[in-house]
């Protein structure tokens, strides 16, 4: 029984730290994750809503990774969503970064797809035999 109490004390003291580390988890989503153009190569237009959860302290930015373009920045939990007018003809990656760190905390992709692969040549009535 004497061995049980020190173990119980360690578990009880570490519980708040475990809960605190779970609060530091970063959640990052994009809705919708897909942009659909009519033909391959056409620019796709879509309003994308980014949502995230970041730790309470720190300065963060949402960037368009391919161009290293900052879309918006904030401190702590001050901002948790951002509406973006996406325009692109290929898949784009977006990242959440901490201002003092180069590595992204989280990434999402907006995938560009199309209904028709490529515009076919026009079907004219003239043919060579």
Tell me the C-alpha distance between 34 and 18, whole Å.
Answer: 36
- What is the SS3 assignment for 105? strand
Tens-digit pLDDT profile for the chain (129 aa)?
555 444 444 334 333 333 233 446 789 999 999 999 999 999 999 999 999 998 888 899 999 998 889 999 999 888 899 999 999 999 999 999 998 787 899 999 999 999 988 656 666 666 665
- pLDDT attached to residue 5: 46
Selection from 98, 94, 52, 95 nearest residue 75 by Cα: 98
Domains annotated on the chain, with CATH: 24-116 (2.60.40.2470)
């Amino acid at each position: 029984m004497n061995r049980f109490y020190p173990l119980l004390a360690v578990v009880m003291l570490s519980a708040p730290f475990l809960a605190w580390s779970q609060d530091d988890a970063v959640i990052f989503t994009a809705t919708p994750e897909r942009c659909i153009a009519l033909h391959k190569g056409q620019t796709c237009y879509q309003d994308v809503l980014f949502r995230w959860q970041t730790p309470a302290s720190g300065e963060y930015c949402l960037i368009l990774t391919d161009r290293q373009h900052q879309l918006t920045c904030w401190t702590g939990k001050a901002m948790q969503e951002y509406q973006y007018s996406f325009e692109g003809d290929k898949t784009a990656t977006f990242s959440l970064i901490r201002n003092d760190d180069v590595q992204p905390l989280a990434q999402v992709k907006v995938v560009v797809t199309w209904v028709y692969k490529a515009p076919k040549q026009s079907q004219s009535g003239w043919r060579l035999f």
